[in-house]
Chains A and B, each alone.
Chain A
Amino acid sequence: MKAAWITTALLALHSLSAARDWTQPTLAERAAEAAGRSPWESAFWIGLGLAGTLAAMTLLGLSLVYAERKIAARFQCRLGPTRVGWRGTLQTLADTFKLISKADLVPRDADRLLFFTAPWLVVSGMLLALVNIPASPLLFVVDLNIGLLFISAVGALSVLGILLGGWASNNKWSLLGSMRAGAQIISYELSLTLSLLVIVLFTGSLSLGEIVQSQQEGWWLWRGHLPAMVAFLVFVIASTAELNRTPFDLAEGESELTAGFHTEYSGLRFALFYLAEFLNMFIAAGLAATLFLGGWMPLHIAGLQTFNRVMDFIPPLVWFGLKTGGLIFVFMWLRWTFPRLRIDQLLKLEWRFLLPLSMVNLLVAALVLLLGVYGKGGPA
């Protein structure tokens, strides 16, 4: 009986992973295709995409916050939440319910319209970026041909939200925090985009689906030689800064600015900021995994046929999860290890070091591309 279950499960897994023709249509394409035949079918696909994204957002938010608290606890020789649910798994759910059911406070002198808009702006930017991330060939809401450009564009919406929130709160600490966040995010956006451009150069496409497929023969991290590695490092540093996480968490800087730009936010709106922070981390990690680590592609090592077969058997979603999870762990590791930079040091790091580095790196990448020395060896 047991054996039968295991075989069925393995077969099911295999059928998921056996979707090896990588031209699977995305949900958006299915909807467009269906639109000609029946509007209902089209609506079904659109609804599925929306519901899927929202569900993923909630689930990811809950589990990431839980993971962060547990991981932090382990770094600090503690246990973390243990009481609510099995080993504290329902802790974040309780937090969410509590935050939603808190009283709705708006400071008297706040700019009400902006105060209400800010958290939704942050979340909607994050949501728009999330639909682009290819989690597996089957779980792909939309594959825009300008996917990368779109993600960096809507990612910038969160800056606007933070600036508005800090301004609308009518609190000096909030304002200081949001101004810091503005200066920081706008600066680091430059080297972030430049490091993305390296991969765009290599693949010749802005579509995330195509970028994943271009890595069939090897992850860009290895195939791209030095420029890709440098770009990966710059990407990780710059996205930590974009995420406002330690060592770049100046916008919130608990010990300096009480709670930074969201000092005056409570209840649901604070929960949205909190959610956006964690989902942005997922997006950054997912993007890094997609661009540099082959997305949902399994790990292949040239010459080891049996090994590669076994790797093929693991479903793409698991691969994507593993890679993204690893990067998220790195982000959390950084957060619970490093002290915080000062604002002038932070800007110096970007303008005097990272920006020149990534510019030179882009030129080197172009050179590598011209000479055609990339594309061989390494794990794929």
Chain B
Amino acid sequence: MSDWLEDFIAGKEGAELLADDRPRSLLLPLPALIGSMQALKAQGFDMLNDHMAVDNPEGEHIRLLWLLCSTESGELLRVCCDLPRQQPVAPSLNALWPVAEWQEREVYDLFGVLYSGHPDLRRLFLEDDWEGWPLRKDYEDSFILEPGKP
């Protein structure tokens, strides 16, 4: 089970297996992302199940997570990638899985991650003139109400 994944990252610099299992996680450096994803798709991961981001203000990075799924073997695989928080730019996976176009729009909308090569990078949920990225931990909005505070 574990062998092919270890072989897979063997040749890649900066790639490592993360401790999380179920699904097994893989941390890739940004430059190797597109190539690895292409290879993974060729290996049978035909479904891009989900794409999300986690903000990490202490580490000054935003971690992007892709969840891949293979309908042949039924295997799940999580691929992670860290981006700098100031200028997060990631390559778009739109050409591999069409659904990435909209998943990336969601992450752009809520975290402000930009995707190069994206055909239609618009906000997904919020108005086009919304300021700020609401799911970042340092997002401030006078509209937000907190319990105990007037």
Q: Do chains A and B touch in the complex (CB under 8 A)?
A: no
- Give the A-binding residues of B (Cβ under 8 A): none
- Give the B-binding residues of A (Cβ under 8 A): none
